[in-house]
Structure 1
Amino acid sequence: MVKSALIVVDMLNDFIDEKGALYSGQAARDIVPFVRRRLEAHRQAGSLVIFLQDAHSEDDLEFEKFPKHCVAGTWGSCIIDELTPNDGEHVLPKTRYSGFYGTDLEKILAAFGPEEVEVVGVCTSICVMDTVGGLANRDYHTTVPSAGVADFDDEAHRFALQRMERLYGARIQ
């Protein structure tokens, strides 16, 4: 059992790099130093660290809603260099918004039993919010630092923070 866990959501080239297929804007770039500091703090504390990695097939149905992005095995689906995972940290490829859908996230969290889960990454109103909803449905105490999440849509970002706090009971810092 560990005291805490950090889930880093989709800090990938296609979202964070301005050359990425679905660049989430300067707001996404701006959270990188904060996310890096939180990652280092969790590593020093011996926390469970999990990276969620959007990794779509070439013909994923999500491309009917969004431009083609984060195709498995491409540069775009790789975690940005500033946040390279360490040995022993979990990297979970995912094909949908929630980090729980079709992944081992639930099993890993159950095996380590963290008392608190912190969530950082992009996009606040999509993959972050859906993953936090999954944590709420599994009764995890969750923190979402507002300095550690970003969205390409400012209004959706604000709404998602409010929803995660009010509906899912996440502590927004």
Structure 2
Amino acid sequence: MDLAHRHGEISVRRWRSVAREALLVIDMLGDFLAPEGSLFIGAAAAGVERAVAGEIARAREQRRPVVYICDRHRPDDAEFAMFSPHCIAASPGAEVVPALKPQPGDLVVPKRRYSAFYGTDLDLSLREKGIDKLILTGVCTNICVLYTAADARMRGYEVEVVREAVASFDPAAHEFALQEMEKTLGVRVR
């Protein structure tokens, strides 16, 4: 089978890695990080963007796969009953912020729900590559990062969350989620 097949939007050619771990970059999108974004996380945006950029650079240097998890909703998505419309497919708010754009060989996984595993082939893609440890970065700590961490642990992955590379628009919920991941899910928070 030709590994140059398309997954999401980026070719997965060269995605094989000797590392058994992958970096997940969760929802580093315009609607969360740009001041005009519909769910802008506020003052935490600049710091989390810098920290995630550092994690991406380290992963590339160590030849670890970088996986972009991208919220992508339909205009009439049921989630908009709870949160204002955001990350609508093909809108600028659904795009990865320019400083963190995926590169050829990165995996891009669009999702419609909180967990990166729900309704996607993320688990299959990771297992095909022999990945058994995930390093999580991105937003929002108490929503998509938390539920992705929970689903990953339930699937048997070792999970690590980089404290400086996750953020939320709700600081109290951010701290609660970090504690919940560490104490209940057995996630290493560093």
Same fold (TM > 0.5) = yes
User: Relative to structure 2, which stretch is displaced further, 19-28 or 63-72?
Assistant: 19-28
Superposition deviation, residue 2 in structure 1 = 2.9
Query: Which residue pairs with 2:102 in the alignment?
Result: 85
Quick one: which amino acid aligns to residue 150 of structure 1? A
- Name which of 27, 36, 45 aligns with 1:28: 45
Deviation by residue 1:52-99 (Cα, 9 ceiling, x = unmatched): 100000000000000011000100000000101010111111000000
Query: Which residue pairs with 1:64 in the alignment?
Result: 81
Which portions of structure 1, spanning 4 or more consecutive aligned residues, are displaced by more than 2 angstroms?
A: none
**Mapped pair 1:169 → 2:181:** no
Query: Which residue pairs with 1:110 in the alignment?
Result: 127
**Mapped pair 1:15 → 2:7:** no
Partner of 1:31, secondary structure, is helix
Quick one: which amino acid aligns to residue 130 of structure 1? Y
Superposition deviation, residue 29 in structure 1 = 2.4
**Structure 2 length-normalised TM:** 0.89
C-alpha separation in 2, matches of 1:3 and 1:113: 6
Unaligned runs of 5+ in 2: 1-17
Larger radius of gyration: 2
Query: Which residue pairs with 2:15 in the alignment?
Result: none
| Superposed CA RMSD | 0.9
Partner of 1:144, secondary structure, is strand
Query: Which residue pairs with 1:2 in the alignment?
Result: 19
Quick one: which amino acid aligns to residue 52 of structure 2? V
Partner of 1:121, secondary structure, is strand
Normalized per residue, which structure has more helix? 1
Partner of 1:146, secondary structure, is strand
C-alpha separation in 1, matches of 2:133 and 2:85: 34
Quick one: which amino acid aligns to residue 117 of structure 2? F
Partner of 1:147, secondary structure, is strand
**Mapped pair 1:149 → 2:166:** yes
Quick one: which amino acid aligns to residue 98 of structure 1? S
C-alpha separation in 1, matches of 2:46 and 2:108: 21
- Name which of 126, 141, 156 aligns with 1:139: 156
C-alpha separation in 2, matches of 1:19 and 1:122: 16
Query: Which residue pairs with 2:139 in the alignment?
Result: 122
C-alpha separation in 2, matches of 1:48 and 1:111: 13
Partner of 1:101, secondary structure, is coil
Superposition deviation, residue 3 in structure 1 = 2.5
Partner of 1:36, secondary structure, is helix
How many percent of aligned residue pairs carry the same amino acid? Answer: 40
Residue pair 1:55, 1:93 contacting (<8 A) in 2 also = yes
